[in-house]
A = this chain, B = another copy of it.
Amino acid sequence: MSSPVRLGIIGLGNMGNSHAQQILQGKVPRMVLGAVCDTDPEKLKRCPDTPGFATHQELLKSGKVDAVLVATPHYDHTTIGIDAINAGVHTLIEKPLSVHKADCQKLIAAYEKRSRKDLVFAEMFNQRTDPRYRKLRELLQSGELGDIRRVNWIITDWYRTETYYASGGWRATWAGEGGGVLMNQCPHQLDLMQWMFGLPKKVRAHCQFGKWHDIEVEDACTAYLEYANGATGVFITTTGEAPGTNRLEVATDRGRVVVEGDGLQWTRTTQKVSEHLRTSPGAFGTPDRWEVKVPTNGWGGQHNEILGNFTEAILDGKALLGPAVEGIGGVELGNAMLMSSLWDRTVELPLDAAAVAAEYQKLIAKSRHKTKVVAAGAANDFANSAKGLAK
């Protein structure tokens, strides 16, 4: 394909518009904004010099785009994503891939049946560009860290005010957004979890619904995880805490890595823990250890790096940082946490996708879906939030 890639952005809400402005400012080499689409004519005015469409079907048929970015409310990721794939345009989906596993499967099935084999299908996994997580994954995959024994991620610096939840009528409702902190804020971490550690075999979670805010969905969750190798994990999140914490701790057979703030702090045992435990003649001693600071450089290119990688995949056949087909992992993990809470029991993975979808239908049926007042000034805040600063 010839350069540049003409991107159509479907959904000019806060995230879609943020990406549009980056492209219009030339921040993504070899990518231009070909067209935009929003059902709200007011939103189209955000890109006054770009061809605008009221429906994604019109945009897809317009001949003005080689690729699309789907940045609509979550449920539409599935339907619009399928239409885009079937139209033969390269497709980048905002996170999450879909609300639940069955919808992810539909979307992936459409991609697998694509007529155009070179079609690029990506997801906006901007936090995969963060060098801290890339490095941790690399250390795990290389075997340098040995087997994982325990994982603990406290990710509670997603603080949101009532004003935030009042910024859109669809927000924080089962019918509109399809979930709360697990669906909106945590897809990054849920994806990183499965990307770095794989999916657990069992999940027992405790979500609280409207605990800190006047919303029907979960704004706090504590989940316990068990992996196939016996490792255990805890994942804790909420939008109700300030200052909040973002601290990932991984205990392995070679010590402990902590990711909090800048870089990785690795307390490295000079011997395998499992070997020392089994063979040491002393009752109390621990293996010798080194304090290793693993430097990393900044927070990565975030959203623009994903857009650039998507462009390179289209033009140069480069491998994707975030293939959309991998997006089902984080969705399934989040679904497992929600279902475990609703069903009040441990759930095993892989989940029964149909059972999860049926549960969502129940939630949607009883959704209050309140129309809320849009608070003045909130949009600017959203744009700032989308700048890709690592949380």
Interface residues of A (CB under 8 A from B): 149-150, 152, 154, 156, 159-164, 167, 204, 206, 208, 211-213, 220, 222, 224, 226, 230, 232, 234, 236, 238, 240-245, 249, 251, 255-256, 267, 269, 273-274, 276-278, 280-287, 289, 344, 346, 375-378, 381-382, 384-385
Taking a contact as CB atoms under 8 Å apart, the answer to whether B212 and A277 are in contact is yes
A284 touching B242 in the complex, CB below 8 Å, given contacts A161-B277, A222-B224: no
Residue of B nearest to A283 (CB): B164
A240 touching B149 in the complex, CB below 8 Å, given contacts A154-B249, A206-B226, A249-B154: yes
Taking a contact as CB atoms under 8 Å apart, the answer to whether B213 and A241 are in contact is no
Contacts of A382 in B (CB 8 A): 283-284
Contacts of A220 in B (CB 8 A): 232
Q: How far is the CB of A383 from chain B (nearest CB, A)?
A: 10
Taking a contact as CB atoms under 8 Å apart, the answer to whether A236 and B204 are in contact is no
- CB < 8 Å: which of B161, B242, B282 contacts A378? B282
Contacts of A289 in B (CB 8 A): 242-243
- Chain A residues touching B, majority SS: mixed
Contacts of A213 in B (CB 8 A): 277
Most buried by B among A164, A208, A243, A267: A243
Taking a contact as CB atoms under 8 Å apart, the answer to whether B163 and A276 are in contact is no
Residue of B nearest to A223 (CB): B224
Taking a contact as CB atoms under 8 Å apart, the answer to whether B243 and A255 are in contact is yes
The number of times this chain is found in the oligomer is 2
Could you write out 28 A-B pairs with CB less than 8 Å apart? A149-B240, A149-B241, A150-B241, A152-B154, A154-B249, A159-B277, A159-B286, A161-B276, A161-B280, A161-B283, A161-B284, A162-B280, A163-B282, A204-B224, A206-B232, A220-B232, A222-B234, A234-B234, A240-B277, A242-B289, A243-B267, A243-B269, A244-B286, A245-B249, A281-B376, A282-B377, A283-B378, A285-B381
Q: How far is the CB of A366 from chain B (nearest CB, A)?
A: 22
Q: How far is the CA of A269 from the CA of B284 in the complex (A)?
A: 41
Q: How far is the CB of A257 from chain B (nearest CB, A)?
A: 11
- CB < 8 Å: which of B226, B230, B278, B376 contacts A162? B278
- CB < 8 Å: which of B152, B156, B230, B245 contacts A236? B152
Taking a contact as CB atoms under 8 Å apart, the answer to whether B163 and A280 are in contact is yes
- CB < 8 Å: which of B160, B212, B280, B377 contacts A281? B377
A283 touching B224 in the complex, CB below 8 Å, given contacts A243-B289, A278-B162: no
A162 touching B232 in the complex, CB below 8 Å, given contacts A224-B222, A245-B249, A378-B283: no
Taking a contact as CB atoms under 8 Å apart, the answer to whether B164 and A242 are in contact is no
Contacts of A159 in B (CB 8 A): 277, 284, 286
Taking a contact as CB atoms under 8 Å apart, the answer to whether B381 and A161 are in contact is no
Contacts of A162 in B (CB 8 A): 277-278, 280
Q: How far is the CA of A269 from the CA of B240 in the complex (A)?
A: 13
